[in-house]
Amino acid sequence: MELSDRKKRILKAIIEDYIASAEPVGSKSIALKPDLNLSSATIRNEMAELEEMGYLEKQHTSSGRIPSPLGYRLYVNELMTQYRLSMQEIYDVKQALNLRMQELDRLISEAGRLISELTNHTAVALSPTAKTSFVRRLDVVPVDAYSFVIVLVTNAGIVHNKLIRLQSPVAEEDVSSLNQSLNHNFSGVALSQITKEQLSALIPAPQGLSALIGEIAVFLNEIADSQKGRNVYLGGASRLLIYPEYHDVEKAQRLLDFISDRRNMTNLKMPDEPETVSITIGPENRAEPLKTASVVYTTYKLGEGVQGVIGIIGPTRMDYAKIEARLRYFSSGLNRLLSELFIDDSDKNKME
């Protein structure tokens, strides 16, 4: 049954009142809103019908109602007004994003902490991953005759490096020849497809260079293996406890334990469209510990085909419009910051 315009206006007012107060909403408080211009009796009847239809719920013996997950879903899909960030909020987000960090893991962890502060909810961030990483550039940089730094730049613009030390010396001219051969043969090749045998076949090499090639193979395998998993970062975990819905510490702990487990959170479905915000409300979440919570999340990108996830988790009673606007703006700024720190000009052109 489709809701009338009046029922939608009343439901919208109830949800926004409950979001602000955390208290069941009665007909008298809704009747005081000047934009509705309805009597308490009319509102009371409409609230009773909204409850029968599953959009509102009644708690205990109170005469007030609270939104159900179905009510929140209708609000998110149709009723909420697009939240306009204030100049101060925009300034706060920009200031947060100006914190330039050198390591990607630290940056993503910091991003989770910052979005937690900006939304006052527990934040979760997943490190970026790609279906396949390719070699863009692979070089060996001599430190001395025995020590070398292997430097890999992937198609996402991420730089990996490793310092190694060999038992036998390697001449600089041999290293130079190896670098030319590495980039000629493996530029654009997936890391997972490069074997030690393929590397060894590049140059008929003396023992020292053969050992170096072995170290390169180990290094590439380590990077390929590390990209199969994703790190999960929590920000502001204790903020969950400030909401009445999680004053039960055991209930809060179950949720925190669940979202802290990488195996659970890496199953989040990526939004279908880039730069969109996904909202799953209560029972819409498949996992049992999330059925009393809402998850609002979006993706951030790091080069072509490489995406991570960032969002917040909290009670179903949340200001969805404000959180969606802040998360969308934050993600946009995070994408720009990542492109400046980790992606070169050629990749920026592809992303634009």
pLDDT exceeds 80 at position 271: no
Which of 257, 264, 268 lies closest to 298 in space, CA to CA? Answer: 268
Reduced to 3 states (helix: H, G, I; strand: E, B; else coil), residue 146 is coil
End-to-end CA distance of the chain: 44
> Which tens digits make up the pLDDT trace of 76-105?
999 998 777 777 877 777 666 555 444 577
Percent above pLDDT 70 for the chain: 84
DSSP tally for the chain: helices H, then strands E: 13, 10
Q: How confident is the model at residue 347 (pLDDT cuts 50, 70, 90)?
A: very low
Q: Is 84 exposed, middle or buried (0-12, 13-18, 19+ CB in 10 A)?
A: exposed
How far is 248 from 327, CA to CA, in rounded Å?
A: 28
Q: How confident is the model at residue 351 (pLDDT cuts 50, 70, 90)?
A: very low
> Which tens digits make up the pLDDT trace of 319-333?
999 999 999 999 998
How far is 216 from 279, CA to CA, in rounded Å?
A: 43
Reduced to 3 states (helix: H, G, I; strand: E, B; else coil), residue 142 is strand
pLDDT exceeds 80 at position 270: no
> Which tens digits make up the pLDDT trace of 240-266?
999 999 999 888 999 999 988 877 876
Structural tokens at position 221: 């395998």
Mean pLDDT in residue range 229-234? 77
pLDDT exceeds 60 at position 70: yes
Long-range Cβ contacts of 266-270 (<8 Å, 24+ apart): 266/126, 266/229, 266/230, 266/232, 268/126, 268/295, 268/297, 268/309, 270/299, 270/307, 270/309
How far is 304 from 310, CA to CA, in rounded Å?
A: 18
As beta bridge partners, residue 184 has none
What DSSP string runs through 217-253? Answer: HHHHHHHHHHTTS--EEEE-GGGGGGSGGG-SHHHHH
Mean pLDDT of all residues in the chain? 83
